[in-house]
Structure 1
Amino acid sequence: MVMGNYRVCYCFIRKFKATQPDPPADVISAFNKYSGDGIRMTADQLRRFLEDNHGGDDADLLSDAERIVDQIVSKRKLLERSISRRSLSLEDFHDFLFSTELNPPIRSQVHQDMTAPLSHYFIYTGHNSYLTGNQLSSSSSEKPIIKALKRGVRVIELDLWPNSSKDDIHVLHGRTLTSPVNLMECLKAIKEYAFVASPYPVIITFEDHLTSDLQAKVAKMVTETFGSMLFSPESDNLEELPTPENLKNRILISTKPPKECVEAEDVKCSSSEKRQVFYVDDGDDAWSEDGSSKSGSDCSDQDVETEDLLKGNKPSSSPVYKKLIAIHAGKPKKGLKDALKVEKDKVRRLSLAEQALEKAAENHGQDVVRFTEKNILRIYPKGTRITSSNYKPLICWLHGAQMVAFNMQGYGRSLWLMHGMFRANGNCGYVKKPDFLMSKNEVFDPKAKLPPKTSLKVKIYMGDGWHLDFKKSHFDKYSPPDFYTRVGIAGASVDNIMKRTKIKDDSWTPVWNEEFTFPLAVPELALLRIEVHDSNVPEKDTFAGQLCLPVSELRPGIRAIPLCNRKGDQYASARLLMRFEFI
């Protein structure tokens, strides 16, 4: 606009506030149906609603209907500073359904049978648990171990190397620039935090690069640190693994017996000052395609053992150290077929790299499943994952692998799936494998094309809470965000699918009211994937939360879904209101 000799420019900055939309029509309809008069809902009426709509086995909520009403009414009194009737209004009923604390999507208690052998469970497993960052140059520390244990991880991996003077033990990623941490610091951290999140056993896997005198020192450190917490089997080889229930608050050691280890004096892999900088990975018990240990592997592997024997070095032996080992790791000599042999009189642990499992799944899928019915199979990331990324875990679980070892210090969709799987069974770190993976009569074929067993119907009503967790300008500088939700299934290949809602423009409390149906051939291993994003055309969309949930654990009915950040930590307020129905 021109006024006289001056040009006047008007800049409009959009002001925005978070508005609270009305409850969804399904919520209003349910309230009207069960309240009787459509004005107030009593505890008895709430109980009837839960019985009819939340599956009937929702014992916690059914028995706590009175407490739920009291809690919501108390909150309302605090906010309004007035005394109201001991019943719920429509707004109160909506608040209850939208509460992640009072109305979560899965149960928070251990509810599966915990009296089967350890091989019958998927176990929350970490890889290189001591690393703070990447696999090549990050620091080693007890802090990532503590964080993993607090999350519920039950298998901690420690790589043991002699220090530069060869009189003590360091934990570090060998032949890299990762800085060491003293073994004792790691053991103390495990003792203090092992059972903070779960009472079920913690398994420490040692990747051992030690001489016999240092193995004896490890044995002394372990026994003195853990004392009666340590589980040591009476016999050299267990015929069957103990149960999680019998091993509550116990710590187990798993590694290769020392008779298979060798003196490695001629191998320069112990000095932190002279370490070569190239990435090597796991596994005293790791298998490679030629039947020997993988090339470029650590100094306890078979290629180095053969070299040492040719030079006349004698194998090391530490009987005290050997007695510590509850789960023996064994290295096959004759290829994968031999590695997967099931022995009647003993159990063992075998490790495969992720790419080795893929090839095993292609050629020996049912042999892998049969092996895992009794024995432990551990899968670990391939050596090129130097940024501590992770692989897709579903193929491992479909073949019965119990220890799917992940870099817990990273983040990304694969790790979200791992977190999702172990939200099951009260987040105790042990999830019972499906019956079809433990059948003695017929070995499950992971390649089989299976028809749908059931379908999951998911309705996404609305979302809220971002205005409390984020700055107003986090998503868009001058307007409210434009949210949409992606929802789908991760599981067997036939079940994998992702769908998305429409974009809701300019709203901190988006209302979608969209429904999706997912046929499921293997619902026992399916994970529900949920992601929320802010649409930013033409720029990259902005992440706004995610959650993965085990489908087998979903409670039917209208539920509040808490959202997590990229690292898997739950936001304080951001959440979705959804409904689940199996048809």
Structure 2
Amino acid sequence: MQYGRHALDILANSQDSLRLHWLEQLFSSAADQNKQEVIEEGIPLQSAVKLVQSVNPGVSSGKVEHRFKEIQRLREKTGNESGSKDHAENEKPSARKEQVTKQEFIEVFHDFCTRPEIYFLLVQFSSNKEYLDAKDLMRFIEAEQGVAQEMSLQLIQAHEPSEEGRQQGHLSLDGFTSYLTSSECHLFDREHDAICQDMSQPLSHYYINSSHNTYLIEDQFRGPSDKSGYIRALKMGCRCVEVDVWDGPDGEPVVCTGHSLSRPLALHSVLEAIAKFAFVASEYPLILCVENHCSLQQQKVLLQHLTRILGDKLYRDLPAEGALYLPSPEELRHRILLKGKKLGPDSDGEVSEEDEGAEMSQRIKVVNAGGTEKDVVQKSVSLTSVPQSNMPHPSPKRFQLLRELSDLVTLCHSVGFKDFKTSSKAQKPWELCSFHESLALRLAGDSPGDFVNHNKHFLSRVYPNPMRIDSSNMNPQDLWKCGCQIVSMNFQTAGLMMDLNTAWFRQNGSCGYVLRPAIMRQEVSYFSADTKDTVPARVCLTVKVISGQNLPKPKGSGAKGDVVDPYVYVEIHGIPADCSERRTRTVRQNGDNPIFDESFEFQINLPELAMVRFVVLDDDFIGDEFIGQYTIPLECLQPGYRHVPLQSLTGEDLPHAKFRLYVRYGEERMKLGKRVIRNERGKKSK
């Protein structure tokens, strides 16, 4: 179906009594409020502009004002040409310029507040009436929105702006527009705003929102450190943060990357920030990864700060002997788990040192011997894929660990990884392996099924390639597909990878924990994300990109003035077999209300791991520029006619910018299968 200017013309010539009566009431109300300034039943120009913006707040006052004056000039010109000059001659020009008549107001309101695609939808379901009655609306929400509730009369009362329509049980075009742009028709299923998954499974059965070098707020080498990095990450629902602790001046440990130029932070100030914000966004356990490089003397200070500042929040209970799984997030609510090295019962007090920063420093020296920091950054991308075995790795250093500090580590004991066979025989559920990104990706490629099975019992943490000194991010889905629970992200770096991470953890109330698919948890199942024959039956997803609204000019772009030539990418992110992208045509010179009207179909093998991302770009021969994006897990999609708020590069909603979609699942998954999938992931919390 094509939408266009002719729809507005049809509506302009119709006798939509509900709309006309409502607009007349709006106009009269504005006139009453400006009695002293009313001239010949007009209202002040600025009052008319505000009325239009009250219904379409995204339109600029300048555009509305310009349209009013354009209509006035056209009418004055037409009147002069036809010889009807009396009114124009008798009226003071300055007064006329600042006044708007009822007819002018209705015409401009019609131009800026009528969505032709919504008008055609209304006509389709109203049998060519200019309103929906209760039965029409019920038929629409059941057939298209997937809602099977007797709620049409309530919707009419909530969204119909005219008193006449509410009394008659009729939903006008403006009421229908209000409904379709309300939170009820958001693409994101609001059921997922709250905890909706079973939180009583073992900790290893969840994906855990995790940050890397949380204290850094820019790059890994020269960027500044600040405790605000912890505050921001924790407010975003992060449930795993890093603290690298080194000897500091005056006997006080500091937090920093030991081989970089970042400014050290006082340990006690970092722990105070963590204690204050640990459970602001989520009540579920926070994992504190302590990378300890301190002398025994300063380890005593570290111990004092941990016990004094974190206090009862620290989880100190030892796991039950012979336990096969870790406790659940529900059992560990409001507790902080320390991840770190631990002394054995017969240890001489020495352990191998964890030092991810040393690996970064070593690689920089090898790659950039005699070069500059700029050379390192330029080479980092190409070296991201260099196998770990091709770079020199010195044997880990040994250092003395304070026994009392070791005793604080109970459920997240750091151990080295040798191979999956060794882990299956010797590793305990409370022992955790950290994997360098390149090693993890190689294991995911060579032994995906073994990696999934490993993660049924044990937590796996993956940290970024040390050559990512610009704080770029890995694709978390490359590791999630193998069941890796803790994929550490640089929260300070916006872009596709953080969009995926942020969107993924929205699906369970943004609590920082997402239950992994049943096929990755069940002992009897075998899953490999790289093969199609072991995944569930396919789902057909249809996405129709209908239109946009109030699309802003990209920041910093002035080449074309205020003109925007938008188009939309629809991307599927998931297991390799599901990854796909399609794009709409470009709509030239229209950011206010571009009509795309294009449909795409996607075959999805594993919907539980799939995400949909919409990216809106400005078509430019020099280089297409980013306007906005929205990313959503497939399981959070609501079917039917939906609207999507566009977000900036850093994840904030762009004011009033949105686009409209039509979404449909194949194989009746919209109505039944979606609930089946949700039940597999866990029961809804009360």
Higher helix share: 2
Residue by residue, what CA displacement relative to the aligned partner does 1:197-229 show, whole Å, maximum 9, x if unpaired?
222222111112123343333232222222332
Matched with 2:325 is 240
Where do 1:166-205 residues align within 5 Å?
167-205=251-289
Contact 2:341 2:406 in 1 (8 A): no
Matched with 2:202 is 117
Relative to structure 1, is the Cα distance of residues 70 and 204 closer, same or farther in structure 2, using a 3 angstrom cutoff?
farther
Matched with 1:517 is 601
Letter in 1 for 2:258: G
Residue by residue, what CA displacement relative to the aligned partner does 1:227-246 show, whole Å, maximum 9, x if unpaired?
33222223487642111122
Equivalent in 195, 219, 222 of residue 134 of structure 1: 219
Matched with 2:393 is 295
Tell me, yes or no, if structure 1 residue 54 matches structure 2 residue 137.
no
Q: Give 1:63 shift.
A: 8.9
Matched with 1:414 is 497
Inter-partner Cα distance in structure 2 for 1:137 and 1:277: 16
Where do 1:296-375 residues align within 5 Å?
302-305=395-398, 315-332=400-417, 335-337=418-420, 340-341=423-424, 343=426, 346-375=429-458
Contact 1:475 1:542 in 2 (8 A): no
The alignment partner of 1:419 has SS state of helix
Letter in 1 for 2:337: L
Contact 2:388 2:438 in 1 (8 A): no
Letter in 2 for 1:459: K
Tell me, yes or no, if structure 1 residue 207 matches structure 2 residue 305.
no
Inter-partner Cα distance in structure 2 for 1:153 and 1:423: 11
Return 5+ residue gaps in structure 1 as ranges.
1-14, 281-287, 297-301, 309-314
Q: Give 1:487 shift.
A: 0.6
Inter-partner Cα distance in structure 1 for 2:422 and 2:437: 16
Contact 1:455 1:518 in 2 (8 A): yes
Equivalent in 460, 463, 486 of residue 545 of structure 2: 460
Percent sequence identity is 28
Q: How many residues align?
A: 525
The alignment partner of 2:397 has SS state of helix
Q: TM-score, structure 2 length as denominator? A: 0.69
Inter-partner Cα distance in structure 1 for 2:297 and 2:487: 32
Alpha-carbon RMSD across the aligned residues, in angstroms, is: 3.5
The alignment partner of 1:493 has SS state of coil
Matched with 1:11 is none
Letter in 1 for 2:166: R
Q: Give 1:34 shift.
A: 5.9
Q: Give 1:88 shift.
A: 3.3
Q: TM-score, structure 1 length as denominator? A: 0.81
Matched with 2:625 is 542
Residue by residue, what CA displacement relative to the aligned partner does 1:446-498 show, whole Å, maximum 9, x if unpaired?
3323476111100111111335x878x95654453110001121111111111
Where do 1:261-280 residues align within 5 Å?
262=350
Inter-partner Cα distance in structure 1 for 2:465 and 2:206: 24
Residue by residue, what CA displacement relative to the aligned partner does 1:61-84 show, whole Å, maximum 9, x if unpaired?
x698777655545xx58xxxx886
Contact 2:207 2:486 in 1 (8 A): yes
Letter in 1 for 2:393: S
Return 5+ residue gaps in structure 2 as ranges.
1-61, 68-110, 367-386, 667-686
Matched with 2:86 is none
**Between Structure 1 and Structure 2, whose CA radius of gyration is higher?**
2
Relative to structure 1, is the Cα distance of residues 102 and 363 closer, same or farther in structure 2, using a 3 angstrom cutoff?
closer
Relative to structure 1, is the Cα distance of residues 34 and 501 closer, same or farther in structure 2, using a 3 angstrom cutoff?
closer
Matched with 1:12 is none
Inter-partner Cα distance in structure 1 for 2:307 and 2:277: 17
Matched with 1:85 is 166
Contact 1:211 1:262 in 2 (8 A): no
Inter-partner Cα distance in structure 1 for 2:139 and 2:543: 23
Inter-partner Cα distance in structure 2 for 1:294 and 1:99: 58
Inter-partner Cα distance in structure 2 for 1:448 and 1:223: 48
Tell me, yes or no, if structure 1 residue 249 matches structure 2 residue 334.
yes
Inter-partner Cα distance in structure 1 for 2:549 and 2:627: 11
Relative to structure 1, is the Cα distance of residues 491 and 264 closer, same or farther in structure 2, using a 3 angstrom cutoff?
closer
Relative to structure 1, is the Cα distance of residues 320 and 419 closer, same or farther in structure 2, using a 3 angstrom cutoff?
closer
Inter-partner Cα distance in structure 2 for 1:240 and 1:263: 25
Residue by residue, what CA displacement relative to the aligned partner does 1:301-338 show, whole Å, maximum 9, x if unpaired?
x5322xx7xxxxxx333235423443211124xx3345
Q: Give 1:104 shift.
A: 3.9
Q: Give 1:512 shift.
A: 0.6
Once the two structures are overlaid, the 10-residue window that deviates more, 336-345 or 124-133, is 336-345
Contact 1:216 1:321 in 2 (8 A): no
The alignment partner of 2:195 has SS state of coil
The alignment partner of 2:280 has SS state of coil
